[in-house]
Structure 1
Amino acid sequence: MLGIVGGSGLTQLANLGVSHREITRTAYGEPSGPFTFGRIGCQDVVFIARHGYGHTIPPHLVNYRANLSALHSIGVTRIISVASVGGIRPDMAPGTLVVPHQIIDYTWGREMTFQSGTDGPVKHIDFTEPYAENVRQLLLNAAQQTGEPMMNGAVYAATQGPRLETAAEINRLAQDGADIVGMTGMPEAGLARELELPYAAVCVVANWAAGRGDSAHAIQFDHLETVLHTSMDRVRRLIAHLCEA
C-alpha cells in the first residue's frame, strides 16, 4: 500500500476513490488527523494531511513520530511526501517540481527518533542517501511518461519554522549547498528510515526564498498561493499516473 503525506497546498486527494477513513492512535500520540483509505488506479492508497485537514498544525508541532508509526502499523510499504518549498538555486523558480536527493537538517527541539533508550541497544541507521532511490525513480519515471517537467535532485534544507527565513539565512543555506528550503523534511525522512519504510519526496517550489527573485524584499504570498494551486494539480496527475502503472 502506498502512503501519501500531503503538505501545504495538498490537504486532500481529489482523485482518490475513498473507501473509508480511520482514526489511528499510537504509542507516540495521535497523528495529524484521520487516515483516508482508497484506491487510485490499481493501487491501494492511504492519505494523511501533515498539517491537519484544516492546516492548523505548524511544522514544528507536527507529530511526525505518530504519523510515521501509524503508517507503518496499517501496512504501508512505501511513502511519497508532498511538500512546498522555497527556491534558492537560480533554476529552482516558482512552479518547479523537484525530487530531492539530499537533506541538511537545521531543525531543533523536535522528537527526532523512535529510540527511547529503554527498548534495547541503540540502533544507528545509515542515512547517507536519505531518500529511497526506488521511490525517487517511480516519481521521475511518472514525470517522464507524462511529459511533466521534473528536476532530478536537489539538496533540501529543513528549517524550524513556522516563520520564513531571513535573506541572510538563505545566503547561509546556499553557502552550505542547499538548493531548496522547507520546514517538514525532517525528522520525517529519518523516522521513515528507522522504520525501514522506503520514502521519497516530490517538492513544489512555491516561491523564491527570501532575498531571491521577486522575494528580494518580501515574500509574495498572493503569488505563492496561485503557484501552489496550479502546481498541486500537476502533482495529483503525476501520482495518478504512478498508481496506474
Structure 2
Amino acid sequence: MSKAAILGGTGIYNLPGIEIDEVRVTNEYGEAVYYQGKGDYADIIFMTRHGVDHTTPPHRVNYRANMKALKDAGVKRIMATYAVGSITAKYQVMELAIMRDFLDFTNGREFSFFDTIERGIGHVEMSIPYCPVMSAKAIELADKHNIRVNDGATYVATNGPRFESPAEIKMYQMLGGDVVGMTGCPEVYLAGELGMVMGAVALPINLAAGLEEKITIHEGNIDEVRENMVRLMLDVLKSTTDDACEAPILL
C-alpha cells in the first residue's frame, strides 16, 4: 500500500488527535525516525526534520537518510511545511504561503543520491518542483481550516543556523525571492530523485532582516495556526491521489 507523508518543520512535532507509532530505521545514509499513523491514518507517515525536541539544527539534518526512509516506507506523496521569514509584502506573517519555486543558497550539504558512479548518473528535472495538484487542493481547502493562504511563493533556502543580513535579504528580493528559510533544499530535489512528489507550504513567523528594526518572532496565535495548517495538509493528502500527482522526471 502506498503511503503519504507530512514533513514538519519548526513547531510541528505531532499530528493533532492522531495515534502514531515511532519507527527508527537505519539506511546507507544514516539513521532516521518517523511516525506511523494508526487506524484511519494507517496510510499517513509523519516526520519532523528537527526531531520532536528540536535538537537538530538545519545544517545538520540528515536529509538523505530522511528521504530514503520515507521512500523505503512506501511514501509516494509528501506535504512539507517550513517556518520562514517573509521578504515581500504579499506574504504576511501567520498567513500560509503556497510554495511554487525555490532559490538554493545552501552549501556543504549532501544534496544528491547520485554522488558515485556506482549509483549511476541522474539529473532530476525541476521545472515544476512542487506538485500543482496538491498546491491547488491546499488553496481550495484553506477556508475550511480557517487558514489564509497566498499563492505563488518562491522560497529562498539559506544554510543557517544564523539569520540572514539585511544586504542578503535585499539581494534575495532582487532575485525574486518571497520567503526565506533554512531547510527547503535539498529536500525538494532529493525527494524528486527518489520519484516522490512534494507539495510545500511556508508559514512566515517573522519579517526578514532589514524589514523591521530587529527580527521578532510572532507568538500570538501561532499554535492554533500551526494546528490548522497540519489539519489542512492532512486533508490535502486525503483528498488527492498518487495517480493525479506527477513525479519529477529523472533524466
Equivalent in the alignment of 1:61:
60
Matched-pair identity in %: 34
Which whole-Å CA distance do the structure 2 matches of 1:204 and 1:141 have between them?
17
Q: Structure 1 stretch 37-46 or stretch 227-236: which is displaced more?
A: 37-46
Aligned to 1:229: 223
Structure 2 counterpart of 1:119: 118
Confirm or deny that 1:24 pairs with 2:18: no
Deviations 1:179-224 (A, max 9, x none): 0001000000010010110001111111111111xxx221113xx2
Q: Specify which of 14, 22, 25 is matched with residue 12 of structure 1.
A: 14
Are 1:241 and 2:240 an aligned pair? no
What SS class does the counterpart of residue 232 from structure 1 fall into? helix
Could you tell me how far apart the structure 1 residues matched to 2:209 and 2:165 are? 6
Q: Contact 1:88/1:174 (CA < 8 Å) preserved in 2?
A: yes
Query: CA separation in 2, counterparts of 1:12 and 1:93?
Result: 25
| 1:220 aligns with one of 211, 216, 220 | 216
Distance 1:105 1:138 in 2: 26
Gap regions ≥5 residues in structure 2: 240-251
Gaps of 5+ in 1: none
* 2:81 is the counterpart of 1:82: yes
Take 1:147 and 1:41, find their aligned partners in 2: how far apart are those partners?
23
- The CA distance in 1 between the partners of 2:237 and 2:104, in whole Å, is 31
Q: Post-superposition shift, 1:157?
A: 0.3
Work out the CA distance in 1 between the residues paired with 2:42 and 2:166. Answer: 42
TM-score by length of 1: 0.90
How much does 1:118 deviate?
2.5
Change beyond 3 A, Cα 1:91–1:191: same
- Residue 199 of structure 1 corresponds to 198
Report the 3-state secondary structure (helix = DSSP H, G, I; strand = E; otherwise coil) of the residue aligned with 1:25. strand
Q: What TM-score comes out, normalization by structure 2 length?
A: 0.88
Render the CA deviation track for 1:149-197: whole Å, top value 9, x for unaligned: 2111111000110011111111110001000001000000010010110
Tell me, in whole angstroms, the C-alpha distance in 1 between the residues paired with 2:86 and 2:39. Answer: 30
Q: Please tell me whether the aligned partners of residues 7 and 48 of structure 2 are also in contact (alpha carbons under 8 angstroms).
A: yes
Summarize the Cα distance change of 1:67–1:206 in structure 2 as closer, same or farther, 3 Å threshold.
Answer: same
Partner Cα distance (1:113, 1:238) in 2: 30
Query: Number of residue pairs matched?
Result: 237
Change in Cα spacing, 1:243 to 1:176, as seen in structure 2 (3 Å) is: closer
Give the alignment's Cα RMSD to 1 decimal. Answer: 1.8
Q: C-alpha distance in 2, partners of 1:90/1:40?
A: 42
Q: Which amino acid aligns with 1:14?
A: P
Say if 1:120 and 1:176 are closer, same or farther in 2 by CA, change over 3 A.
Answer: same
Q: In 2 relative to 1, CA 233–145 (structure 1 residues): closer, same or farther, beyond 3 Å? A: closer
